[in-house]
Amino acid sequence: MLLAASSWPWYLSRASACVTLVLLTFATLLGILTTTRLGVPWWPRFASAELHRRVSLLCFVFLVVHIASTVFDSYVSISVLASVVPLASTYHPLSVGLGALAFDCLLVVLVSSLLRARIPANAWRALHYLAYVSLPIAWVHVWLLGTDLHTSSHWLALVLLGSVVSIVLVGLGRLARAWRYRHLDTAPPPKVVSR
């Protein structure tokens, strides 16, 4: 079955959105695991960091494809400006605006990562935290605007749920580990009772 010439941007937009969500989830998971410095003998830490960089770049490529196919789609009218400026769209302004905000956050993360050697480490780290902000924004964007979310197969709902659950579990594991080490480092030395 051949797709109609006017519908290919819509299909490309949907597909690239799903791939972007999966890649963004994977990149975030790798980022969390890399910062916790967990390692196994057969997988060195530098490999996790390199895989995180490559998956993040691939995610950004699919995000640009998603935005471009949405702009070229004749079914809805979303301008280039609306794809980067939150609330500038006349079509579902909140949903599209959240997508634009998530894109803007990821763009800042990308640019700061490309300039990492030229900016202070603390500034880079602070800007890099926008990646953690962009994913929940993307979740809400998908929830509000995802056309496949409410179909009978619910496949997009399962992808979205898998993204949320995996990030929450790994994030909680990271917080628990950080709390445990902070607690151990700040605990006062035991008192010695002399008799």
What tens-digit pLDDT sequence spans the chain (195 residues)?
A: 444 556 888 889 889 999 999 999 999 998 888 876 655 566 677 778 889 999 999 999 999 999 999 998 877 888 899 989 998 888 889 999 999 999 999 999 999 999 999 999 999 999 999 999 999 999 999 999 877 777 766 888 889 999 999 999 988 888 887 777 776 655 555 555 555
pLDDT score at 16: 93
Query: In whole angstroms, how far apart are CA 91 and each of 5, 83, 94, 98, 126?
Result: 22, 11, 9, 12, 33
Amino acid in the structure at residue 150: H
pTM for the model: 0.83
pLDDT score at 138: 95
pLDDT score at 184: 64
**Residues near 144 by Cβ (< 8 Å), separated by ≥ 6?**
92, 94, 95, 98
pLDDT score at 44: 73
Output b/e per residue, 61-96; b: 16+ Cβ within 10 A: ebbebbbbbbbebeeeebeeebbeebebbeeeeebb
pLDDT score at 162: 94
pLDDT score at 1: 41
Domain boundaries along the sequence of the chain: 8-186
